[in-house]
């Protein structure tokens, strides 16, 4: 029987299983934790080839690059995980995202001498957000109900995430909420870099995947109202996704094409420090790094009151996306009044605090 304190005085291995290769979202979470380190733990990562694996390697973080994730397929993913586990013999297998959760549950039917931990980043309050059919949603919800029963610990990134896990997956065991930690910076000194004069051209930002669940049609409608009253305003629709063509056509219909740009992927930090307000009208968010980074910058925030958003943002920043006039008014208010732009909540965890909380969950698995 293994012990979390390791063998011969060595720190135990926690193998993080990540089925995506990009740096946004979960990839950002993995990289932040890897850079900080989890107390009394050796962190290793299993993930597919991509920007995340290369960034981890550049940081000197042990990473196993293998055929793991939806693009690799279920059988290859199971084989990759089994190979990693038999090679490393980790004390903890920590999965991220639904695909990795299912793979671990299937791969570990004989249960090595290890503990299973899962962090849920992407569940929504309603199945329709991420599933195109009721049958697909029902199958996945049943799968997650049974796989959650074999995991030793479950982590959610917000209270709303934990509530959705209980409601949709019928999870009855305890769920530990560990929010995405960020190291705060004083954004107040930077307000002077932004003009409150509309004649200078307010710069509005959307920073997300160009897909239906992000509410981007509502962003364009709200911006068209702002642009009507403040014609020097511009909108940057950053990101890529299947909705790009439809959004570009919608700009033409609304008469705002000359004031809206689609630059694709851009540096999020630079974008937040060069725009006045980030608008994020998603149908659901769990614990959005885009919103956290915006609050950690001079940029304002207008977002929908969904998921974990209300756990981090003040009420004046939260507006129903379908209420176009209310969204446009909130944008104008934060452009004209930089002091109304939100900051990180006082007690929001740092990256170090987040890693300490993860280590505490690992220890509890062995008590």
Joined together, the tokens standing for residue 179 give 């929010």
At 157-204, the pLDDT tens digits run 999 999 999 998 888 899 999 999 999 876 544 444 455 555 568 999
Query: For residues 117, 121, 306 and 141, what is the CA-based torsion angle, rounded to 10 degrees?
Result: -70
Exposure b/e, 9-46, CB count within 10 A at least 16 = b: eeebbbbbbbbbbebbbbbbbbbbbbebebeebbbbbb
pLDDT in tens, the chain (367 residues): 333 433 334 789 999 999 999 988 899 999 999 999 999 999 999 999 999 999 999 999 999 999 999 999 999 999 999 999 999 999 999 999 989 999 998 887 556 778 999 999 988 766 444 545 455 567 677 776 677 788 999 999 999 999 999 998 888 899 999 999 999 876 544 444 455 555 568 999 999 999 999 999 999 999 999 999 999 999 999 999 999 999 999 999 999 999 999 999 999 999 999 999 999 999 999 999 999 999 999 999 999 999 999 999 999 999 999 999 999 999 999 999 999 999 999 999 999 999 999 999 999 998 7
Residue-wise pLDDT for 223-257, tens only, equals 999 999 999 999 999 999 999 999 999 999 999 99
Structure tokens that stand for 259 in this block: 């004031």
Residues contacting residue 153 through CB under 8 Å, at least 6 positions apart: 115, 116, 117, 118, 176, 361, 362, 364, 365
> What is the structure's pLDDT at 126?
60
| E strand segments, the chain | 13-17, 42-47, 63-65, 92-96, 115-120, 153-156, 175-177, 203-207, 234-238, 260-264, 277-280, 300-303
Query: What's the CA gap between 263 and 267, in Å, rounded?
Result: 11
Round to whole Å and give the CA distance between 31 and 157: 16
- Residues 63 and 83: their CA atoms lie apart, in Å, by 14
In the chain, the percentage of residues whose pLDDT exceeds 70 is 87
Provide the 8-state DSSP code for 116: E
What pLDDT, on a 0 to 100 scale, did the predictor assign at position 141? Answer: 76
Is the pTM higher than 0.95? Answer: no
Structure tokens at 295: 């609050």
DSSP letters along 158-202, please? Answer: SHHHHHHHHHHH---S-EEE-PPP------GGGGGGS---GGG--
Report CA-CA distances (Å) from 305 to 5, 281, 327.
Answer: 42, 9, 12
CA 175 to chain centre: 18
The percentage of residues in the chain with a pLDDT greater than 90, rounded to a whole number, is 77
Helix 51-58 × helix 26-36 angle, to 10°: 10
Calpha distance 279→57 (Å, rounded): 34
User: How many Cβ atoms sit within 10 Å of the Cβ of residue 87?
Assistant: 10
């Amino acid at each position: 029987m293994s012990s979390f304190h390791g063998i011969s005085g060595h720190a135990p291995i926690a193998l993080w299983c990540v089925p995506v290769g990009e740096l946004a979202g979960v990839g950002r979470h993995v990289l932040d934790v890897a850079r900080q380190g989890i107390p009394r733990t050796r962190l290793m990562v299993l993930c597919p080839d991509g920007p995340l694996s290369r960034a981890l390697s550049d940081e000197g973080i042990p990473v196993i690059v293998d055929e793991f994730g939806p693009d690799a397929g279920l059988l290859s993913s199971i084989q990759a995980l089994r190979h990693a586990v038999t090679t490393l013999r980790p004390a903890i297998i920590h999965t991220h995202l639904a695909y990795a959760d299912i793979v671990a549950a299937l791969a570990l039917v004989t249960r090595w001498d290890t503990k299973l931990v899962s962090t849920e980043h992407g569940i929504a309050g309603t199945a329709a957000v991420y599933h195109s059919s009721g049958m697909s949603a029902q199958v996945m919800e049943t799968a997650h109900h049974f796989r959650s029963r074999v995991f030793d610990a479950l982590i959610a990134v917000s209270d709303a995430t934990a509530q959705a896990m209980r409601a949709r997956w019928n999870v009855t065991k305890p769920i530990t909420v560990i929010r995405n930690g960020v190291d705060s910076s004083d954004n107040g000194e930077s307000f002077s870099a932004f003009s409150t004069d509309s004649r200078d051209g307010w710069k509005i930002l959307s920073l997300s995947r160009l897909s239906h669940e992000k509410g981007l049609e509502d962003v364009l409608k709200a911006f068209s109202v702002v642009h009507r009253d403040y014609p020097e305003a511009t909108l940057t629709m950053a990101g890529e996704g299947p909705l790009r063509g439809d959004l570009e056509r919608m700009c033409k219909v609304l008469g705002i094409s000359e004031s809206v740009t689609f630059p694709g992927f851009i540096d999020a930090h630079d974008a937040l420090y060069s725009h006045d307000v980030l608008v994020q009208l998603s149908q659901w968010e769990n614990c959005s790094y885009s919103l956290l980074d915006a609050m950690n910058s001079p940029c304002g925030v207008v977002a929908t009151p969904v998921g974990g958003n209300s756990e981090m943002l003040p009420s004046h920043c939260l507006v129903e996306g379908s209420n176009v006039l209310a969204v446009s008014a909130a944008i104008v208010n934060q452009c004209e009044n930089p002091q109304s732009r939100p900051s990180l909540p006082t007690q929001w965890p740092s990256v170090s605090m987040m890693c300490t909380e993860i280590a505490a969950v690992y220890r509890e698995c062995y008590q």
